[in-house]
Amino acid sequence: MENTFFVDSDALSPAVLEKKHRLETDPSARTDIMRYLDGMEQIDSDLLDRVLEQVNRYDPTQYTDRDVRNALQHETCSIEDLKALLSPAAEPFLEQMAQKARLETQKHFGNTVYLFTPLYIANYCENYCVYCGFNCYNHIHRMKLNMEQIEHEMQVIAESGMEEILLLTGESRGQSGPEYIGEACKLARKYFRMVGLEIYPVNTEEYRYLHECGADYVTVFQETYDAARYEQLHLLGHKRVFPYRFHAQERALRGGMRGVAAAALLGLSDFRKDALATALHVHFLQRKYPHAEMSLSCPRLRPIINNDRINPQDVHETQLCQIICAYRIFLPFAGITVSSRESESFRNGIVKIAATKVSAGVSTGIGDHESKYTGRQSDRPEGDEQFEISDDRSFSRMYRDIEQEGLQPVLNDYLYV
């Protein structure tokens, strides 16, 4: 596979600076985003073509009030209805959308809200994604936890009462190979009922190995489904290969994973088209693999290094609420996760309408759970964070706040027998 690198020093050499500048200014210096690299598995699937066909035909401005009213009256939401609900014409109907979404949520999920927490175990990355705090050219403190440190972090988290954990790494096979992640999964199985992964995409047999090590589900952010924008933002590394990333969830399901999640990082491109693509990605997966659990994440771009260079498209809270309600109406059985990127007040409100899962006790840094969970100053080394969070509530406070909203916090609903 292609060899890339990461920066772990205070200065870039002239040769590295020159390569970085060429990647940024000369498209011919970059590889074709549709060309698979050595070692990348290609599967026979038409899902990408089907999603892009719908998205490329989507003009959000063509929908009218009448289209939105019709969509809200239909018992089953079609793809055309979804397009109307994501359009600007639907914004005045947000209250009606929220009411319909709430009914669907209560019908299929009751009043439950699932809780989990992420654990970053490494922040080395071999990709140059210009918007990401972990990208290989950023001057940050890189760190990879060893198994003793990972277990210590898990013990601290488990003592809080949490039963589901999401393991994350930077996208570096060299520093965080499948074997390393697999050993972390085995440790996680000792302390948690549910283990999720948010790592770089891998091949089917590697997903099978990780599932055998204890992983239950896989989350992959496509970031944006706009191929032209994707090419501008992902300049180097395995993440640059657009179709390999898109098909990650399908490879994970073929590898035995119980569930998968998809997401676009809203704000990188036209958020309405990215929301449509995300929903259709899950929809087509759901129809092809009806036995699997499907979910969506709804992250907006948060402040990070280089945000000023990518001209992010603002997605306001009302628009995010519109997207989440449209997701629920179109995909009544899918889980919807709203992360700590969003504010406390927004998350308190959206779990009463459409979201079914939230993170708590969140840190996007490496090795800092002891200091953040216990308040004790740790002498263990820590790695830098990927992005800033907005909602920093602890697990216990999040649990209490959900109960006070009249909802039932759920830590785990799945038992292996």
* Tens-place pLDDT, residues 340-398: 989 999 999 999 999 999 999 888 778 877 777 766 655 555 555 555 678 989 999 99
User: pLDDT above 70 covers what percent of the chain?
Assistant: 90
State the Cα–Cα distance between residues 260 and 297, nearest whole angstrom: 11
Beta strand pairing status for 357-359 and 112-122?
parallel
CATH of 14-410, one of 3.90.550.10, 3.20.20.70, 3.30.70.240, 3.30.70.20: 3.20.20.70
- Per the CB < 8 A criterion, the answer to whether 285 and 259 are in contact is no
**Residue 12 confidence (pLDDT):** 66
- The three-state secondary structure class of 264 is strand
Query: Has residue 52 got a pLDDT over 60?
Result: yes
Q: Give the pLDDT band of residue 1 (cuts 50, 70, 90).
A: very low
Write down the residue that tokens 């953040």 correspond to: 372
Of 326, 333, 310, which is closest to residue 274 (Cα–Cα)? 326
Tens digits of residue pLDDT in 173-206: 999 999 999 999 999 999 999 999 999 999 999 9
Tens digits of residue pLDDT in 105-115: 999 999 999 99
Q: Give the pLDDT band of residue 242 (cuts 50, 70, 90).
A: very high
Write down the residue that tokens 């090419």 correspond to: 231
Tokens for 216, please give them.
């239950």
Q: Indicate the range of 195-204, 239-248, 259-268, 379-388 predicted with least confidence.
A: 379-388
Query: Has residue 327 got a pLDDT over 60?
Result: yes
Of 232, 308, 276, which is closest to residue 87 (Cα–Cα)? 276
- Per the CB < 8 A criterion, the answer to whether 37 and 246 are in contact is no
State the Cα–Cα distance between residues 105 and 107, nearest whole angstrom: 5
> If you ran DSSP here, which 8-state letter would residue 224 be given?
-
Q: What is the pTM of this model?
A: 0.92
